[in-house]
Amino acid sequence: MKGIHCFTSNLLWSCMSSLLVLSFTFLSFSRASEYEYLSWPADFFPASRVYGKRPQCVEIPDDLKLCQGVGYKLMLLPNLLDHETMSEAKQQASSWVPLVHKNCHPGTQVFLCSLFAPVCLERQIYPCRWLCEAVRDGCTPIMQAFGFPWPEMLACDQFPQDDVCIAMNPTNATEKPKVQDSGICPPCDNEMKTEVILDHMCASEFAIKTKIKEVKRENMDRRVVLQKKKKLLKVGPVKKKDLKKLVLYLKNGAECPCQQLENLSNNYLIMGRKAEKQYLITGIHKWDKASKEFKKALKKMKSYKCPAYDAVFK
């Protein structure tokens, strides 16, 4: 039966009404231990998995930050990305938290959580291909600004175009929602919150305390020249011999506003990644020790356990 979708707005009830038409039933959450997993035929979804471990219905833990407030409380494990343990799922999912903070597409959390923390049903339900494509198209420019590609594990052509799939708009499942763009350069659009600073620090390979000498436009980028005095807080790929002449780039940032670059008299916390031969700015904050959130982030920075980004964005 074509055109039937499950929606994340009031997800469980919408899915129930759609799936009952197809003679599916919800798992009784009070009897999760009796859940029996029935997989889709391999030729129905190209992305279908064959699990070596019996799937279970478990609560979404508080520290699975990516999927807090997603609209349901129980998830299937192993998930739809073949993560068999909660520890693995949390580690991989945490890599995507900064992207959700950027609001690059209203369906980002819905799409990602349908894979990392799928809702408990008697059949595995994948996200719709158009939802994947909409999130990919909306978020890829921001990911590129951070030096990340769209990963192969989320290639959209593996997801279903029709039939039963996770969508997000209960009024029109085929209409792609509009993306709200703040217009601010992604690395400059950062909240002064401890959690956000640490998430962006983890998404970066190096972090520096420094002042900025000058900013120039170079093609579609902004070239940021630092003053000689710099303090490395996170070393990454930056070698000491290259530190004095280090030049950073705000990728595709020639036209978008960046308030932090308007007053160059400040000290800054600048975070970045090396992509090909350029050092890209992934986050920039005014060095503001009067801010409790900023001070807390600096204190936690040395001991904070970051997710393994290299394992995800290949």
Question: Could you read off the pLDDT of 78-100 as tens digits, one per residue?
Answer: 999 999 999 999 888 988 888 88
* Segment 102-129, tens digit of pLDDT: 888 999 999 999 999 999 988 889 999 9
Looking up residue 159, the CATH number of its domain turns out to be 1.10.2000.10
Burial (Cβ within 10 Å: 0-12, 13-18, ≥19) of residue 4: middle
pLDDT at 309: 56
Residue 1 counted as domain residue: no
Beta carbons within 10 angstroms of residue 217's beta carbon: 12
Same domain, 211 and 144: no
Alpha carbons 73 and 105: distance in angstroms, whole number: 23
pLDDT at 108: 95
Residue 180 counted as domain residue: no
Same domain, 44 and 118: yes
Same domain, 212 and 138: no
Residue 204 counted as domain residue: yes
pLDDT at 172: 39
Residues 6+ apart with CB under 8 A from 218: 249, 254
Residue 159 contacts residue 47 (beta carbons within 8 Å) = yes
Alpha carbons 38 and 185: distance in angstroms, whole number: 45
pLDDT at 16: 34
Same domain, 255 and 290: yes
Alpha carbons 166 and 268: distance in angstroms, whole number: 42
Alpha carbons 131 and 84: distance in angstroms, whole number: 25
* Closest to 109 (Cα-Cα) out of 139, 76, 77, 140: 139
Residue 131 counted as domain residue: yes
Same domain, 160 and 55: yes
Same domain, 102 and 221: no
Q: Count structural domains, the chain.
A: 2
* Cα first-last separation, the chain: 36
Same domain, 156 and 192: no
Low-confidence ranges of the chain (pLDDT < 70): 1-53, 169-182, 307-314
Same domain, 210 and 136: no
Q: What is the pTM of this model?
A: 0.66
Beta carbons within 10 angstroms of residue 72's beta carbon: 18
Last residue of a domain, one of 134, 167, 200: 167
Alpha carbons 238 and 253: distance in angstroms, whole number: 22
> Which element (helix H / strand E) includes 207?
strand 206-218
Looking up residue 284, the CATH number of its domain turns out to be 2.40.50.120
Residues facing residue 271 across a β-bridge: 207, 283
Residue 151 counted as domain residue: yes
Domain that holds residue 268: 186-303
pLDDT at 2: 31
Residue 67 counted as domain residue: yes
Residue 310 counted as domain residue: no
Last residue of a domain, one of 100, 132, 167: 167
